Amino acid sequence: MPRRQRGMALITVLLVLALVLVSVSALLRSHQLALDSLGQQLRAMQLRQLAEAAERHALGRLRRRETLTHAGQAWAQPQLLELAPARVRIAIEDLAGRFNLRTLARQGQLDQPTLRRWQNLRKALAIDALAPEQWQGLRLLSLDQLRVLPGVDRALLKRLQPRVALLPVTQGLNVNTVGAPLLAMLEGIDEAAARQLLQQRPEHGFPSVQAFTAQAQAQQLLLSGQGLAVASNWFRLTIEVQLGEQRLYLYSEVQREEGSPTLRVVRRTLSPFEEHHLL
C-alpha cells in the first residue's frame, strides 16, 4: 500500500477511535448524572420518611388528654433524636400561646380587651397597617391573605408571623403557654413585669383565668380576663431532619378534638428552608 494511503488509513482509524472515546465519555457522564439524580431522589425520600416518622412520634406525645395545657407538660419539651446517620429535632408549640387573628376578623363589634391587645401589638412591632376595620369580616385561611391590604408586605408578615395564629374565634390566649415578651406586647406592660408575673405561674399552670388575673392584681397589674384561656386544642409541630449536608423541615398544624385524644393534622408544609424563608 502506498505511503499516502497508509497515512490516510491511520488518520481514519484515529478519527474513529476519537469518536468512540467521545461517545464512551458522554455515556459515562450521562450514567454518572443518572446515578447522582437517583442518589438525590433516594436521600429526599429518606428525609421525607424520617420527617413523617418524627411527626407520628410527636403526635403520640399529644394524645394524653389533660384539663389544662401548660408549658410543664411533656409535649412542650423539645427533642433531639440521633438516628445515625440522621439527626431529627422536634419542637411542639401551643398555638393558643399566640394572638388569635380570627378574633379580629369576625363580624360584629369587637370587645375592647381584644382590640386593645391588637393595638398594643401593632405599636410594639411598629406596624402602621392592619387597622381592624380594614379586614373585619375577612375569612382568613392563611396569613398570606393579608398581603392584599394596603401597607402589608413580606417584611411586615415576617415580624408578625411568630406571634399570631389563625384559630377558631372561641380559642383565647392561653396564659399557661404565652411567653413574657408577647404578653408584655399584648398587655402594654413592661417585659420585666410580664416575666415576673409568669414566674409565679404554678408548675402545673394557672388552674383558671381568674387565678391568673388575681396573681396579676397582686402585682398591681390590672389585666382583663376576657379573651384569655388556660387550655388549648391547637398545636404546631416543627420537625427538622438533617442527613449529611441536606435538611428538610416539616411544619404541621394539629387539632386535638375536644374531650378526646383524637388528633387531626389540618395543615402540613414540607420545605428545604426554615419557616422565615417561606413568606
The pLDDT score that the predictor gives to residue 260 is 78
Average pLDDT over residues 7-30: 64
Question: How confident is residue 35, by pLDDT bands cut at 50, 70 and 90?
Answer: very low
The 10s digit of each residue's pLDDT in 121-178 is: 999 999 999 998 887 778 888 999 999 899 999 999 999 999 999 999 999 999 999 9
Q: pLDDT category, 33, cuts 50, 70, 90? A: low
What's the pLDDT score for residue 21?
A: 64
Whether the pLDDT of residue 245 is over 50: the answer is yes
**Number of other CB atoms surrounding residue 266 within 10 Å:** 10
Annotated domain spans of the chain: 47-96+232-277, 102-165, 172-230
Name the CATH topology of 47-96+232-277.
Pantoate--beta-alanine Ligase; Chain: A,domain 2 (3.30.1300)
* CATH class of domain segment(s) 172-230: mainly alpha
- Return the higher-pLDDT residue of 36 and 198: 198
